[in-house]
């Protein structure tokens, strides 16, 4: 009983002791916004996604230029897809994970053309996916309003999008010929005439048309088209960028230094492997100079007697 009363008096004395000393630090509780894995709206877009390059110039049917600068989104399953015509395609994971994925599925690159018609928009050079870059093909379909209607991934790292818009409902809305300047139209007329006169082959006809579309800025030249996959496949030792190569080299050097330190710590000697010739790799011994013939029973010591 007496002990309990003493504790009570001690607590009362501490509470009546007045404010804390001036040197005592005060704790401040700061509440920060939590995005719960969804893209943090308090961060600028540039801080979240880094594009490898700038989009190609706006090209194609003039009546589609009004779509430039706008974006259209679609949520499927746990992902939000965003299509910005003549700019890029992005994907954002809508989950509560702390490291929810956000990435670029392609940057505006070039048109796909077949039978005098714009059949799709290619978005290339997206974020890395194994040994290649993600890319997307956007097909334009007639619709009552501008909306991203469908997204799928028919093959790994390659995405297919369907964008509906009333701007392509007219039968001639996606024809290539009317969009060309007069000079290129005259070239096209001449190419068709040469094909009719059998002065060029169908293969030559396709090649000349491709060159014409490249001059118009609708297609990229072979030099401008980067390979989508590094040689050797996903298990090769290739690196997509020089920065990745330098980073891997730095990590390997650090690991080698750590392993050498462990060997030294435990007193284990280490030496560099001796170089071998190509013949030794193939199982053949390198010829060596023959020593003087040694007689049976001779200990091998030769010298003047």
Residue 135 maps to which CATH number? Answer: 2.70.130.10
Tell me if 110 is assigned to some domain.
yes
The pLDDT tens digits of the residues spanning 254-289 come to: 888 888 887 888 788 876 655 444 444 444 444 444
Tell me if 141 is assigned to some domain.
yes
* 10 — pLDDT class (breaks 50, 70, 90): low
Q: Look at residue 183 and tell me whether its pLDDT is greater than 80.
A: yes
Radius of gyration of the chain (CA): 35
Tell me if 203 is assigned to some domain.
yes
Domain that holds residue 172: 48-176
Alpha-carbon span 148 to 121, nearest angstrom: 14
Query: What is the reported pLDDT for 5?
Result: 55
Tell me if 154 is assigned to some domain.
yes
* 19 — pLDDT class (breaks 50, 70, 90): low
In 3D space, the residue among 169, 146, 161, 160 whose CA is nearest the CA of residue 72 turns out to be 146
Q: Look at residue 123 and tell me whether its pLDDT is greater than 70.
A: yes
| Helix, strand, or coil (residue 202) | helix
Q: Which two tokens stand for residue 134?
A: 């993600």
Go through 110-138 and write b for each residue having 16 or more CB atoms within 10 A of its CB, e for each that does not: bbebeeeebebbbbbbbbebebbbbbbbb
Name the DSSP letter for residue 168.
G
Name the DSSP letter for residue 39.
-
Could you tell me if 208 and 112 lie in one domain? no
Could you tell me if 85 and 201 lie in one domain? no
Domain count across the chain:
2
| Helix, strand, or coil (residue 296) | coil
99-103, 173-177, 244-248, range with the lowest pLDDT: 244-248
Which residue among 165, 194, 221 closes a domain? 221
Could you tell me if 134 and 169 lie in one domain? yes
What are residue 82's DSSP bridge partners? 73, 90
Backbone angles phi, psi at 161, to 5 degrees: -120, 145
Could you tell me if 166 and 208 lie in one domain? no
Tell me if 211 is assigned to some domain.
yes
Better-predicted residue by pLDDT, 100 or 116: 116
28-32, 39-43, 127-131, 222-226, range with the lowest pLDDT: 28-32
Could you tell me if 199 and 118 lie in one domain? no
Tell me if 280 is assigned to some domain.
no
CB 169 within 8 A of CB 150: no
Tell me if 195 is assigned to some domain.
yes
Query: What is the reported pLDDT for 11?
Result: 53
Q: Look at residue 196 and tell me whether its pLDDT is greater than 50.
A: yes
Residues 6+ apart with CB under 8 A from 92: 38, 39, 79, 80, 81, 82, 100, 101, 102
Better-predicted residue by pLDDT, 291 or 187: 187
Percent with pLDDT over 90 in the chain: 50
Query: What is the reported pLDDT for 220?
Result: 94
Query: What is the reported pLDDT for 154?
Result: 94
Average pLDDT, the chain: 77
Could you tell me if 124 and 208 lie in one domain? no
DSSP readout, 58-123? P-S-GGGGGGTT--EEEEETTEEEEEETTTEEEEEE-SS-TT--EEEEEEEEEEEEETTEEEEEEE
Could you tell me if 154 and 186 lie in one domain? no
Question: Cα dist. 192→126, 197, 198, 205 in Å?
Answer: 37, 9, 10, 8
Q: Look at residue 231 and tell me whether its pLDDT is greater than 50.
A: no
Could you tell me if 122 and 156 lie in one domain? yes
């Amino acid at each position: 009983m007496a002990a309990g009363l003493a504790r009570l008096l001690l607590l009362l004395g501490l509470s009546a002791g007045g404010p804390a000393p001036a040197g005592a630090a005060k704790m401040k509780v700061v509440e920060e916004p939590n995005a719960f894995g969804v893209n943090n709206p308090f961060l600028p877009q540039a801080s979240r996604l880094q594009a490898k390059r700038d989009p190609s110039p706006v090209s194609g049917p003039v009546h589609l230029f009004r779509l430039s600068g706008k974006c259209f989104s679609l949520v499927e399953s746990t992902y939000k897809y965003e299509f910005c015509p003549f700019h890029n395609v992005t994907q954002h994971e809508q989950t509560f994970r702390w490291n929810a994925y956000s990435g670029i599925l392609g940057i505006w690159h070039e048109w796909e053309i077949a039978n005098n018609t714009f059949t799709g928009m290619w978005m290339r050079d997206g974020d890395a996916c194994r040994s290649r870059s993600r890319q997307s093909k956007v097909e334009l379909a007639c619709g009552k309003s501008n909306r991203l209607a469908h997204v799928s991934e028919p093959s790994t790292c390659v995405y297919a999008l369907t964008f509906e818009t009333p701007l392509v409902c007219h039968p001639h809305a996606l024809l290539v010929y009317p969009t060309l300047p007069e000079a290129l139209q005259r070239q096209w007329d001449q190419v068709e005439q040469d094909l009719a006169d059998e002065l060029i082959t169908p293969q030559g006809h396709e090649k000349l048309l491709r060159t014409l579309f490249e001059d118009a800025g609708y297609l990229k030249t072979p030099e401008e088209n980067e390979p989508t996959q590094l040689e050797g496949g996903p298990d090769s030792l290739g690196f997509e960028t020089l920065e990745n190569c330098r980073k891997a080299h730095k990590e390997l050097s650090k690991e080698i230094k750590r392993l050498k330190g462990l060997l030294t710590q435990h007193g284990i000697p280490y030496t560099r492997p001796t170089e071998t010739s190509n013949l030794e790799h193939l199982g053949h011994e390198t010829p060596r100079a023959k020593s003087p013939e040694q007689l049976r029973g001779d200990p091998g010591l030769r010298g003047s007697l």
